[in-house]
Structure 1
Amino acid sequence: MGTLTELVTAIRPLDTQKMQGASRHIDGLVKPTNSLGRLESLAIQLSGMWGIDRLDNLQKEIIVMCADHGVFDEGVAATPKEVTWIQAINMQKGLTGVCVLARNSQTSVLPVDIGIDGEPIDNMLSLKLSRGCGNIAQGPAMTRQDAERLLLASAGLVKKRAQEGISVFGVGELGIANTTPASAIISVLTGCAPHDVVGIGANLPQDRVQHKEAIVGQAIRVNRPDARDAVDVLAKVGGYDLVGMTGVILGAGACGLPVVLDGFLSYAAAIAACQIAPEVKNYCIPSHFSAEKGAKRALEHLGLEPFIHLDLRLGEGSGAALAMSIVSAACAMYCEMGLLSQSGIRLPVPA
């Protein structure tokens, strides 16, 4: 994974022979054919991933990219900027929403300082290039060189964690004002207007949403990102956390391992990742339907249908943490259910 081209080249198609074998195995379980619906298709998808040998005892981890954004200065967020640093400390202590939900699904959480505008946090992994990215309303978030560097560093982190035993990855983020660059990325890469994707984020008052839309439009006009080049879009109107999430998605695909998406921010990163490496979509597992305004448009562009509808918009990877239980359920079905051939039951074959 020394270059972005090498990273993309490492992302292989799913193994169709293994998937066909998995489908036959599932059809032979003690249940009516297709009666477990999307759990069956999820198990088949997982079986086709070359980084997974068996579906039992898969270790799960959510990598949470934490960073600040210069566009905060444009008044696009209601939450104070220092909350990114404070919540990163709370995450390091295991106190935030994603940490609680992840423990419930036997999933570890790995917070990463990829650009927090604050002092280093004890024992927190750092990929930081600077304290917060540029203000996208005035210029680019970062250089293309820095975007590529962080994509590769984040993918490299996934490779390292995979070597240490993680088989299922999730993505999360932490960064005040980050729904503004996420909206800009989605607007550019899907070709829709800012009005169609800009929402309230972390409880921005409704009377300030129009201003947030205007800032997204200004960022696109000022930076003129190339919609045909997702790296250019990430560098110009994205942010460190969004680049990091994109790198996690690409890194998981390059390792032949699944990556569970979270909400709106992860949709932006997934859209970018899938443009950079279309094959990586086969490794993406959607978790929940975000309550953020642009969620429907982003998911339609990705062609992904989430498993969970709970009106979540916390971020952090909280939806991914909940969906890890669904991944575990699909694996348990595959590995632990009895076989019809050994049960004495004869079921009619569907017409």
Structure 2
Amino acid sequence: METPPTGTRKIIHVDMDAFYASVEQRDDPALRGKPIAVGGGGPRGVVATASYEARLFGVKSAMPGARARRLCPDLLFVKPRFEAYRAASSQIRAIFARFTDIIQPLSLDEAYLDVTANKPGIASATVIAQEIRSMIRDETGLTASAGVSYNKLIAKLASDQNKPDGLCVVRPSEGAAFMARMPVRRIHGVGPVTARRMQALGIETGADLRARDLPFLQQHFGSAAPFYYRAARGEDDRPVHERQERKSVSVEDTFFGDLVAEDALVAEVERIAASLWTRVERSRAYGRTVVLKIKFADFRIITRSKSFTAPVRSPDLLAQTGRALLRAQLPLPMGARLLGLGVHNLDHEESEEPGPQLSLIL
């Protein structure tokens, strides 16, 4: 289908509210109204999703389980049930399909929809978003937040404005003002490290970003500069892709201070492996090759890998391989500022999550 001009498009970004935790609270009345975390609470565990009750204490996704428990001593940890999440996600996708076939899943719990030319012939994307949210609530017992706008960038930002169970609409005439007040750290595509670099240059908001010309941004941010330049102006012509087969699944951690000690490095690889396994299970994309990535204090990057004849289907094997790849490089010539672990050469089993890698900041 030919993509209509950017200003005429109608894009919805739907993001389920605390999806995994909400499914658990829906299915177990004893968990309702209580702070829960889906994931592991042990020394190597990682929070996959926290309920809104837990978020009041500062518990967040990708947080080590031990830290989450310190923040919220009454936190209840629940083992992930990915089959239940996939079942709920399939129900939600079926609701989307009543309105459009142009659906780009980002994960089990969020997706872009292009409803410019929708099946029911509804002129208002806002009405469609309201109907979708109502159907999700009635048919799954879950709540969703939605952002409606004329491009993907703003629709995604808008979906986060009135969470949980909210709706935000940004019209073409409102896009520039919406982006002007947006903190740069919230802009999709600006990671934690880039956000700190921008803040060091006095760039805190979209308005600050817009005040810098393209040569300035190119000088400081290289090839990413055109994206930032256009994002500050509310411009994004990326189409909604109906399906993309991912080639790898990976998790990276960037550290505020370089890591040198072997115990600290091994502990981080184990934590990354736990987070990566959650992502692998969620996406059902099991890989035959495990890849370790190390970025040193001088920004030099090395990768090391190990391949297997069959896909890695055990979290213990994944962690064991990560540790072995790391220990083969010890002692490191200098401190590590980033560690990453990924699986490549994937065997897809109806992968539900074609999104980008998960990036954490410690």
TM-score by length of 1: 0.30
Structure richer in helix, relative to its length: 1
The structure that is strand-richer by fraction is 2
The structure whose RCO (Cα within 8 Å, separation 6+) is larger is 1
After TM superposition, the score normalised by the length of structure 2 is 0.29
